Structure 1
Amino acid sequence: MQMPVHIVAAGGFVENDKGEILLVKTRRGGHWVFPGGQVEVGENLIDGLVREVKEESGIDVEVSHLVGVFSNTATYPGHSGVKTVPTKVMFDFVCEPKGGELATSDETSDSRWVRKEEVLDMVLAPALRTRYQAYLGYDGSIHYMDYVTKPQFELKLDRKI
């Protein structure tokens, strides 16, 4: 049996005191997303998320609490020498901005604060929309979802734990 390989990532729902949500626009694909990304070797989830938010948006954050755990169990051909993209496990946290200035990076072409009710007008990817809706419906229970994104988005499991 081959040892399993997973990508571990963390995402941040950063909300300011005006009730606005931080979004960044990716250079690759040009889509609006929540800041976050893969946790590096030897890095914990929270440090990885703080680093990713700062790198992608210029904003310093403090991680508040976990709202969801998500598995993208689709495997598909990768790029840049990656034969197969493995299962991804993502942890979404609520974050509070603590400083910094909106900026862009090698990965992002724009960053901005968006009114909470306008976020779904900008975030179009079905998986990200589903995760944002879980954030909006947070009631103290952690949301767990299993989905695939390719060949098309399919929600396979949705429960609270």
Structure 2
Amino acid sequence: MRRMLTQIVEVSGIVEDKNGHILLVKTQHGGWVLPGGQVAEGENVMDVLIRGIKEESGIDVIVSYLIGVYSNTGIHNSHYNLTAISTKVTFNFMCTPVGGEMLSSEETSFSLWLEKDKVLDMVKAPDIQTRYQAYMDFDGSSFYMDYASTL
């Protein structure tokens, strides 16, 4: 019999400005990531994405299109170490900035716009690198990928 564990649904945005720069945020724990957030009970995925980007970076966005859906089936601890997580599903969307001003937050210590080809040098988390590379290889067709990693 399979044991039922906690699952997480999260959204992340690849926010590209008119100059081809990508928005990154640095977490309070030190890593550079794509902005977004985890979906809580009763929340709308798009609302979480727009709000998460605003809260983490100060930038207002509109969501343009879905790049891909990623399912991490590796078992790892939650951010709060409350329980094991058996699956984390991430929806990765392309977003366009429409306003706002850069800022830090409770979750992030810094935000920046970076040239597209330098993002993989800054982002160290393998799952985020995988999702960003999928954006770089994007041919206009959304896709699904599954993988297993422990975080």
- Output the TM-score relative to the length of structure 1: 0.87
Structure 1 pair 113/81, CA: closer, same or farther in 2 (3 Å)? closer
Verify the 8 A CA contact 2:14 2:23 in the aligned structure 1.
yes
Verify the 8 A CA contact 1:134 1:143 in the aligned structure 2.
no
Structure 1 distance, partners of 2:56, 2:97, is: 14
Structure 2 distance, partners of 1:8, 1:110, is: 24
- Give unmatched runs, 5+ long, in structure 2: none
Is 2:26 the partner of 1:25?
Answer: yes
**79-88 vs 138-147, greater mean Cα deviation:** 79-88
Over the matched positions of the two proteins, sequence identity in percent amounts to: 55
Structure 2 distance, partners of 1:81, 1:129, is: 24
Hey, what does 1:37 align to over in structure 2?
Answer: 37
- Superposition RMSD in Å: 1.7
Structure 2 distance, partners of 1:49, 1:103, is: 17
Structure 2 distance, partners of 1:80, 1:4, is: 15
- Give unmatched runs, 5+ long, in structure 1: 152-161
Q: Which has the higher contact order (CA 8 A, sep 6+)?
A: 2
Q: Displacement of 1:86 after TM fit?
A: 3.0
Give the AA of the match of 2:62: E
**132-141 vs 49-58, greater mean Cα deviation:** 132-141
Give the AA of the match of 1:76: H
Q: Displacement of 1:77 after TM fit?
A: 3.8
Q: Deviations over 1:123-146 (max 9, x none)?
A: 111111111010111112112111
Verify the 8 A CA contact 1:7 1:88 in the aligned structure 2.
yes
Hey, what does 1:121 align to over in structure 2?
Answer: 121
Verify the 8 A CA contact 2:5 2:85 in the aligned structure 1.
no
Verify the 8 A CA contact 1:32 1:123 in the aligned structure 2.
yes
Q: Secondary structure at the match of 2:48?
A: helix
Hey, what does 2:71 align to over in structure 1?
Answer: 71
* Counterparts of residues 1-161 of structure 1 (less than 5 Å): 5-28=6-29, 30-78=30-78, 80=80, 82-150=82-150
**31-40 vs 17-26, greater mean Cα deviation:** 31-40
Structure 1 pair 80/25, CA: closer, same or farther in 2 (3 Å)? closer
Structure 1 distance, partners of 2:117, 2:81, is: 40
- Output the TM-score relative to the length of structure 2: 0.92
Structure 2 distance, partners of 1:138, 1:23, is: 19
Aligned length: 150
Q: Displacement of 1:56 after TM fit?
A: 0.3
Structure 1 pair 17/148, CA: closer, same or farther in 2 (3 Å)? same
Structure 1 pair 74/141, CA: closer, same or farther in 2 (3 Å)? same
